Amino acid sequence: MLEKPLDLADLTAPLLEVLAYWRAHGGERLECSWIDFDLIELPAWSPFMAVT
């Protein structure tokens, strides 16, 4: 099964924020270690983590 590669220029705001977070921790090669990565800190999680 072949799929079209994702073009980063097509990303929308939530995914761009996640990509920026990942790059801040792992650089352009996206080599973030799981020790440095915090799933709760992902920007896309913010709206879902609000306490009501």
The pLDDT score that the predictor gives to residue 14 is 81
Query: One digit per residue, pLDDT tens: the chain, 52 residues?
Result: 668 777 888 888 888 888 888 888 887 777 777 787 777 777 766 655 555 5
pLDDT computed for residue 46 by the predictor: 60
What is the reported pLDDT for 52? 55
For residues 43 and 36, give the distance between their C-alpha atoms in angstroms, rounded to a whole number.
15
- So what's the pLDDT on residue 1? 62
* pLDDT at site 36: 76
Sign of CA dihedral 4, 5, 11, 16: positive
